[in-house]
Amino acid sequence: MKRTVFPTPAPKTVLSKSTLSAALAFTVLAAGSLGVLSTPAHASDDMCNVPKADWKTKEALTEKLTAEGWDVRKVKTEDGCFEVYAIDANGKKVEAYFNPNTFEAVKIKKQD
């Protein structure tokens, strides 16, 4: 006859209210910090918060970049910035974001 061994139940642990409160607070803080850290950064967060009345035209930005040696393929509005797809003066494909008032480059992504 085979002998069967049944697992014994784990002892019951009683936690105090203060321990449960601390664990809950830690969980809430940890989850909250993950939410803050995982939010995507947009180009408009700091640099593109400009009223529409103060915007310059897409054509003016295209002229500026063309004068700097860029071959501008497309300009569109994205998150309050001008998003430009172009070939820069070095021949690299570029996706760049510009402040619509100052034409300051907020973010530039170059592709190889």
Asked if the structure places residue 80 within a domain, the reply is yes
pLDDT of residue 38: 42
Residue carrying structure tokens 């897409």: 58
Q: What's the Rg (C-alpha) of the chain?
A: 28
Residue 107: which H helix or E strand, with range? Answer: strand 105-111
Structural domain tally of the chain? 1
Q: How far apart are CA 58 and CA 93, in angstroms?
A: 19
Task: Specify whether the CB–CB gap between 81 and 98 falls below 8 A.
Answer: yes
- Residue type for 101, please? N
Asked if the structure places residue 37 within a domain, the reply is no
Asked if the structure places residue 14 within a domain, the reply is no
User: Model pTM?
Assistant: 0.59
Q: Which domain holds residue 105?
A: 52-111
pLDDT of residue 75: 97
Write the CATH number for 101.
3.10.450
pLDDT of residue 44: 41
Asked if the structure places residue 12 within a domain, the reply is no
| Number of neighbouring beta carbons within 10 Å of residue 107 | 16
Asked if the structure places residue 15 within a domain, the reply is no
pLDDT of residue 100: 96
Length of the chain measured in residues: 112
**pLDDT digit string (tens) for the chain, length 112 residues:** 677 777 777 667 666 667 656 655 666 555 555 554 444 444 445 678 999 999 999 999 999 999 999 999 999 999 999 999 999 999 999 999 999 999 999 999 988 6
pLDDT of residue 98: 96
Asked if the structure places residue 8 within a domain, the reply is no
Asked if the structure places residue 98 within a domain, the reply is yes
pLDDT of residue 3: 75
Asked if the structure places residue 68 within a domain, the reply is yes
| Number of neighbouring beta carbons within 10 Å of residue 84 | 24
Q: How far apart are CA 52 and CA 101, in angstroms?
A: 9
